[in-house]
Amino acid sequence: MAAARPGGPGPRPLLVACALRIEQAALRSGGDRGAPFGCTVLRTGMGPRAAERAVTRALAAPGLAGAAVLATGFCAGLVPGMHPGDLVVAEETRDPRGTVTCAGTSLLAEALARAAPGRTVHTGALTGSDRVVRGQERARLRATGAIAVDMESAATLWTAARGAARTAAAGVTHRPVAAVRVVVDAPEHELVRIGTVRGGISAFRVLRAVLPAFYDWHRSLPLPRR
């Protein structure tokens, strides 16, 4: 973790947000070795509205006012050739409200490759949806340039970025955000097909393994500007 400047602000806390109980279980079973002080794992519940509500509440807590926010969990891959267990690092998240640019994408991708050797790491746009998407709808989203879709990342990061304006009152002028998702199904491996259980187990194991990469990303962040 970055050292604080004498008399200056200390390292910012870290909020890791996921939607599902199984995602939370994977993150918790990964252990806390190397975890930064002030790291919180938040289960938001499923869907963009639940994510927005939960993240808004969490960031209102005094200890998390200036937190960096990382959205994680499972996703649907949109690119042919993706496999369950592949990793997606968002360069940006998208939803109908707009686009949020992620911080430290290259460093995060490199850290994930170290944490999960043998797994393919994809970088690109991660789009949000308010429902599970299949078939032609996936093809439509792929045509927009997105490489993966999930229901909570875009809402989580939009809420975090919007909330950064409120942290300015506390002297914090910028909130780094990121999103990392593990592919649980893909064009050739949709959830409705045989092999779903195997794909889900693979994704769970990968999510459990990548916490050190999240901590590396957090340590690389600049100290809060005041």
Domain ranges of the chain: 14-220
Per DSSP bridges, beta strands 177-185 and 87-95 are antiparallel
Tokens in use for 130?
């308010």
Q: What would the CATH number be for the domain defined by 14-220?
A: 3.40.50.1580
Neighbours of 1 (CB within 10 A): 18
Residue 150: per-residue pLDDT: 97
Residue 135: per-residue pLDDT: 80
Residue 10: per-residue pLDDT: 59
Each residue's pLDDT, cut to its tens digit, for the chain (226 residues) gives 333 333 445 578 999 999 999 999 999 887 666 566 678 999 999 999 999 999 999 999 988 888 999 999 999 999 999 999 999 999 999 999 999 999 999 999 999 999 999 999 999 999 999 998 888 889 999 999 999 999 999 999 999 998 755 555 555 557 999 999 999 988 766 654 434 556 678 889 999 999 999 999 999 998 665 5
Residue 198: per-residue pLDDT: 64
Per DSSP bridges, beta strands 68-77 and 98-101 are unpaired
Residue 3: per-residue pLDDT: 38
Taking the C-alpha atoms of residue 54 and residue 25, their distance in angstroms, rounded to an integer, is 18
Which residues share a beta bridge with 79?
none
pTM of this structure: 0.88
Residue 225: per-residue pLDDT: 59
Q: Which amino acid is at 197?
A: V
Residue 162: per-residue pLDDT: 87
Residue 4: per-residue pLDDT: 38
